Homo-oligomer: A and B are copies of this chain.
Amino acid sequence: MRLVVARCSARYTGRLTAHLPLATRLLVVKADGSVLLHSDGGSYKPLNWMSPPCATAVRAPDAEAVERGVTEVWTVQHQKSDDRLEIELHEVAHDSAHDLGVDPGLIKDGVEAHLQELLAAQIELLGAGHTLVRREYMTAIGPVDILARDGAGGTVAVEIKRRGDIDGVEQLTRYLDLLNRDPLLTPVRGVFAAQEIKPQARVLATDRGIGCLVLDYDAMRGVDDVDSRLF
């Protein structure tokens, strides 16, 4: 990994065309050839970048560029597309290289898949007498997270989100429309389950006769641990 702090300007052409006026920035060149151009603020997203696979060609500036104070020109070309990042370097304040080695990567806990798994295992959270039909029930427009049956034998389609937004309600609505066309399933009831359900989503769901279920991840995981210990 090479770290360069320099005054520079940049120009990107590819899926769009954009440019960066002259300013001091951090340039990171990773081992895989990818390049990041960071300012001293904002979020984790660089101002400009090139994803791997790509290659950087360094050349001396032409006379006109020298006149403007350019000391070096980097052309970062993507290997599989015509995306290109051209960087003109002026004064270089820092330049160092480091061997980082391979990274074991991030390990995550508690995503939507886990919520689905937990709810499938604790399907009675939908109400007493509920039984699991299957997870990822496939339809023509995508998989329903959980399909269940209630105590009375009615079908229940469950959409699970970490954060219950209006989009999730729309998604579940589409599934319900489709499922209710199937004479073997109809009537299908909908349940929108999430760790947190936004007020607008709750209003929309309620208006459409869709039930809302707030999932307590920690509690569900706790129960799951207890279950695990039983076997």
**A105 contact from B47, B111, B142, Cβ within 8 A:** B47
The yes or no answer to A100 lying at the interface (CB within 8 A) is yes
Known: A38-B28, A41-B52. A94 touches B104 (CB 8 A): no
Query: Provided the pairs A96-B94, A107-B20 are in contact, do residues A40 and B101 lie with their beta carbons within 8 angstroms?
Result: yes
Interface residue tally on A, bucketed by range? 35 or more
Residues of A within 8 A of B (CB): 1, 3, 5, 15-21, 23-26, 28, 30-32, 34, 36, 38-49, 51-52, 93-94, 96, 98-111, 140-142, 162, 166-167, 170, 174, 200, 203-204
A100 touches B45 (CB 8 A): no
From B42, B110, B141, A200 is in contact (CB under 8 Å) with B141
What are the residues of chain B within 8 A of A18 when measuring CB–CB? 106-109
Q: How far is the CB of A104 from chain B (nearest CB, A)?
A: 4
**Contact indicator A5/B100 (Cβ below 8 Å):** yes
Bound together, the chains give a CA A32 to CA B42 distance in angstroms of 8
> Is A46's CB under 8 angstroms from B44's CB?
yes
- B38 near A140 with CB under 8 A, answer no
Q: A21-B104, A100-B24, A170-B170 are in contact. Are A40 and B1 (CB under 8 A)?
A: yes
Bound Cα distance from A26 to B36, whole angstroms = 13
Chain B residues with Cβ under 8 A from A42's Cβ? 30, 32, 34, 103
A34 interface neighbour in B16, B41, B103, B140, Cβ under 8 Å:
B41
